[in-house]
C-alpha cells in the first residue's frame, strides 16, 4: 500500500513539471517571435514623478527614477502610451504607434515636450 501511495504522489508531483516544459509563457514566445522593448526616463524628468507605460491599453510599468522598463513584445502593430504620475493637472497620455519586427530592439526615452510626456526614439544605453 505504501509503495502505491508513493507512486501516485510522484506522478502528481512530476506531472506539473512536465506540463511546464511544454507550455511556453507568452513572454518567452514574444522573445522568439517579437522584439525587445526598452523605455527609459530622461535624466531631467523629475525626482517625484513616475512614467506610467501602457501597451495596447494594458498597464505595463511604472518607471521610477534611475529605472527603466525592459521586456519583450510580440511582432506586429502596437500602441505605446505614457503619462507622468501623479497626474495633478489631468493631462491626457501621449500615444504612438509602433510596428515591431522579429528580432529587433526598440529603445525609447520618456521626455517632457510642450508640457506633456512623449516617447522619443533613442540609442541604447546600459
Q: All 3 cell numbers of residue 124?
A: 541604447
Domains of the chain listed by start with CATH number: 27-121 (2.60.40.10)
Tell me phi and psi for residue 43, to 5 degrees. -60, -30
Distance CA 48, CA 34 (A): 33
pTM here is: 0.71
Confidence of residue 6 (pLDDT cuts 50, 70, 90): low
Pairing of strands 105-113, 34-41: parallel
Q: Above 70 in pLDDT, residue 103?
A: yes
Per-residue pLDDT reduced to its tens digit, 37-70 = 999 998 888 788 899 999 999 998 999 988 999 9
Amino acid at each position: 500500500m505504501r509503495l502505491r501511495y508513493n507512486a501516485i504522489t510522484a506522478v502528481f508531483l512530476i506531472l506539473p513539471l512536465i506540463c511546464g516544459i511544454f507550455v511556453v509563457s507568452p513572454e518567452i514566445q514574444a522573445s522568439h517571435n517579437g522584439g525587445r522593448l526598452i523605455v527609459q526616463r530622461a535624466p531631467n524628468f523629475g525626482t517625484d514623478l513616475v512614467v506610467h507605460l501602457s501597451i495596447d491599453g494594458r498597464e505595463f510599468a511604472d518607471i521610477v527614477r534611475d529605472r527603466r522598463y525592459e521586456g519583450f513584445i510580440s511582432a506586429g502593430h502596437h500602441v505605446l502610451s505614457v503619462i507622468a504620475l501623479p497626474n495633478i493637472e489631468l493631462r491626457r497620455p501621449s500615444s504612438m504607434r509602433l510596428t515591431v519586427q522579429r528580432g529587433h530592439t526598440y529603445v525609447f526615452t520618456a521626455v517632457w515636450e510642450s508640457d506633456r510626456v512623449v516617447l522619443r526614439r533613442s540609442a541604447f544605453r546600459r
